[in-house]
């Protein structure tokens, strides 16, 4: 089985408009040689979103570092599902036991690289892209009201970026007692992986994302470039990025 080594970078930024940063991002490896990328975009305001996103990312990170089994598709799916359900539970319980945190929640997108497979989970509208041979491919679907309308044929693709309700989420962690999320498994070929919150893709079109990924800059410099360009285009929201660039190890 081929294992991939790689370089990575992650970063969050408050942007140019918000008064607080409620986004979280991380990339880490465990003792099994696996890699986890994760981005969370908190919501609720008045530090509620910051609390929700931190609870989620810390729970999943801790679970990942304690993980005991690797390379089993069944066990890896079960682990990721259990980690997200656990994160949802702790946010929901905190929100409903303390009026200060009522109605808080967070998006979550997480990708586990284990051997030659990747396991991708998504809640909300944070995104995952793959980049390979110059091609940028979205791997997640936004769980928003406008994307629901688009997928059901009620509005055009162009309308999804102009409607006033385009930021309304259909799903998030911590809102309901049970978590609902997309989880899929696919072959990993050594492509670059980009996870980001909507603060990046709402301020930076895919053409510019592709252009930055196509450079020979370091992973850290690419992440910095994303933030600089997104802020230069308005910086309308917090920005969170987790980026992985594989180096085949034959």
Residue 1 reports pLDDT greater than 60? no
Taking alpha carbons only, the member of 12, 33, 31, 30 closest to residue 22 is 12
* Helix, strand or coil, per DSSP, at residue 33: coil
Domains of the chain and any CATH numbers: 3-141+169-249 (3.60.40.10)
Which pLDDT belongs to residue 155? 84
pTM, rounded to two decimals: 0.94
pLDDT tens digits, one per residue of 133-151: 999 999 999 988 887 787 8
Helices within the chain (DSSP H only): 48-65, 73-97, 145-151, 198-201, 206-213, 219-232
Mean pLDDT of 108-124: 97
pLDDT value, residue 47: 75
Per-residue pLDDT reduced to its tens digit, 23-49: 999 999 999 999 999 999 999 876 799
Instruction: Decide if pLDDT at 235 tops 80.
Output: yes
| Average confidence (pLDDT) over 57-63 | 99
Residue 131 near residue 194 (C-beta atoms within 8 A) = yes
What was the pLDDT predicted at 247? 85
What integer pLDDT is reported at residue 168 of this predicted model? 83
């Amino acid at each position: 089985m081929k294992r991939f080594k790689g370089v990575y970078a992650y970063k969050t930024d408050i942007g140019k408009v918000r008064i607080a940063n409620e986004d979280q991002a991380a990339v880490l490896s465990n003792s099994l040689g696996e890699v986890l990328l994760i981005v969370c975009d908190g919501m609720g305001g008045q530090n509620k979103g910051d609390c929700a996103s931190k609870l989620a990312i810390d729970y999943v990170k801790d679970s990942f570092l304690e993980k005991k089994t690797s390379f089993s598709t069944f066990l890896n799916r079960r682990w990721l599902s259990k980690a997200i359900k656990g994160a949802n539970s702790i946010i929901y319980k905190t929100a409903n036991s303390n009026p200060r945190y009522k109605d808080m929640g967070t998006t979550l997108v997480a990708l586990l690289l284990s051997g030659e497979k990747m396991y991708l989970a998504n809640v909300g509208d944070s995104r995952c892209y793959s980049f390979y041979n110059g091609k940028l491919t979205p791997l997640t679907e936004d769980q928003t009201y406008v994307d629901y309308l688009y997928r059901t044929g009620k509005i055009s693709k162009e309308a999804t970026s102009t409607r006033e309700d385009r930021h309304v989420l259909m799903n998030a962690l911590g809102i309901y007692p049970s978590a609902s999320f997309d989880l899929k498994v696919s072959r990993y070929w050594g492509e670059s992986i980009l996870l980001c919150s909507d603060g990046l893709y709402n301020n930076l079109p895919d053409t510019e994302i592709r252009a930055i990924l196509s450079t020979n800059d370091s992973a850290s410099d690419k992440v910095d470039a994303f933030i600089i360009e997104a802020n230069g285009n308005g910086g309308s929201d917090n920005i969170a990025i987790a980026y992985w660039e594989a180096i085949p190890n034959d």
